[in-house]
Amino acid sequence: MTPALRSLLFSAPLDASGAAMWVEPDEIIIDDVQGPAALRLLAGQFGVRGRVARSERVRVVSTIDLEGALPDRRAAHNLLREFARESGSPFIHESSACEQGCSASVEAEPGSLVASARRPDAGAAARGCITIAAQALDLAGALASGRMWAARPRVQRLRLEGALRAGRTAHDLAIALRPLLCAGSWAAIDWPDGHDAAEARSLCALLLGDSPAQSVFVLREAIDEPFDVALRLDEIEPMLGDAERARPAADAEPTDVDRVYIGSCTTGSVADLRLAAEVLAGGRVHVPTVIAPASARDVSLLKEETLADGGPSLAKVFEQAGCDLGLPGCAACVNALGEMQQEGRKGEALTVVATAAANVSTRRVARVLTASPITAAQIALRGRL
């Protein structure tokens, strides 16, 4: 844990909010979200152009696809690139942010304090980093002075013990944890020693996508104070979640399902979709089932990856099971298909099982139940809970 993060984290007792204080972020990310406005404010309000304080801590990121970009977006890209050249800061160009979990892939050191206008990155959270959301003026001030004004909310500590059993995934754990998290707090997760880094990243991505907590991060060092919640991983069952609660899938009342949606930006990686393909292989779905890879790159990988040497590709497994390939990325969360607004049997709302983690609940009238790719695929084969 860096001195910057330690000073903010321990600025007050962890069970209370801390007072606002000046902190020096370990990394300042300037990207195309608030970056152009921040640079205009830097020049107009602070009289600074290329020379900035602590330039070694600044990372400049563009996620603009230049091939199809409008002129104003191309201008923003060029502005960021020129600022990076003048300030001597690294310039990173990512044309597909969703492939990196909807965030800039800046590899912050474990336990760093990061200032960014972009949503927290799951990989950074799994390394114990905290991302402070900053607006354009905050970023301009941080560039000019190397520091920013921040306050730490209450820290909610969650201690995880044991290991997940076979057939249980980080998705099930995220569904179980969401109702336990407090709005506006920092969720500090104490993961067991020797934890799987991929599972930690998946958990952070799922919780960051749909959680009342202001931020989530995996503790990289012990905190002596008692934890708020202790949860045994070996007691986690395949879960179903809705807007109000989480429960084991085995406890759900028998209910017909109208749609199954597997994928989205946070739950549509090839690793996630492989879990579903292993269940669907050799079977046939009984309800309309959409497979939505996280990105265009994942669409291509589905055609290349196979379940076993010489076996069919994941794309072929889904095709043979009767699934439809949906739009990559955020289609479920923004209801791009429009199906979650339709009426089902007897004029009632549809019952949809989805692995999507983000804010589907605010964009539909359907009853949406969240599940892991394994559980969602099993329900698709049966057509009911």
Please report which residue ranges of 267-329 form alpha helices under DSSP H. 270-280, 296-304, 314-320
DSSP code at position 181 = P
Residue 241 lies in a domain: no
**In this structure, are 255 and 209 located in the same domain?**
no
329 domain residue, yes or no: yes
Whether residue 250 sits in one domain with residue 345: yes
Residues 294 and 364 in one domain: yes
Burial 258-289 (b: 16+ CB within 10 A, else e): bbbbbbbbbbbbbebbbbbbebbbebebbbbb
Q: Which of 236, 266, 290 is the last residue of a domain?
A: 236
Count of the separate structural domains present in the chain: 3
Do both 377 and 258 map to the same domain?
Answer: yes
- Which H or E element spans position 252? none
Q: What is the CATH number of the domain that holds 215?
A: 3.40.1060.10
In a domain, 54, yes or no: yes
> In this predicted structure, what is the pLDDT of residue 124?
87
309 shares a domain with 340: yes
The amino acid occupying position 317 is V
Do 67 and 178 lie in a common domain? no
* Same domain flag for 34 and 126: yes
Q: Give yes or no: residues 104 and 26 share one domain.
A: yes
Q: Which residues of 19-34 are buried (b: 16+ CB within 10 A; e: fewer)?
A: eeeebbbbbbbbbbbb
**Residue finishing a domain among 180, 214, 236:** 236
Residues 217 and 324 in one domain: no
266 and 129 assigned to the same domain: no
Closest C-alpha to 114, from 6, 25, 220: 25
Q: Is 182 among the domain residues?
A: yes
Both 43 and 165 in one domain: the answer is no
Report yes or no on 133 lying in a domain. Answer: yes
Judge residue 73's burial from the number of C-beta atoms within 10 Å of its C-beta, 0-12 exposed, 13-18 middle, 19 or more buried.
middle
Q: Domain range for residue 35?
A: 3-11+18-150
Question: Does residue 355 sit within a domain?
Answer: yes
CA distances from 279 to 175, 233, 260, 273, 314 (A): 20, 22, 14, 10, 11
CATH value at residue 112: 3.30.499.10
Whether residue 184 is found in the same domain as residue 251: no
pLDDT (tens, 9 = 90+) of the chain, 385 residues, equals 899 999 999 999 988 999 999 999 999 999 888 899 999 999 888 887 667 888 889 999 888 888 878 999 999 999 999 999 998 999 988 765 444 445 555 678 889 999 998 777 888 898 899 988 889 999 999 999 999 999 999 999 998 888 889 989 999 999 999 888 888 899 999 887 666 778 888 888 888 876 788 889 998 777 777 778 888 999 999 999 886 788 999 998 898 999 899 988 778 888 899 999 999 999 999 999 999 888 778 888 899 999 887 789 999 999 999 999 887 766 666 655 555 555 555 556 788 898 876 545 545 567 888 899 999 999 999 999 9
On whether residue 341 sits in a domain, the answer given is yes
Q: Which of 84, 119, 150 is the last residue of a domain?
A: 150
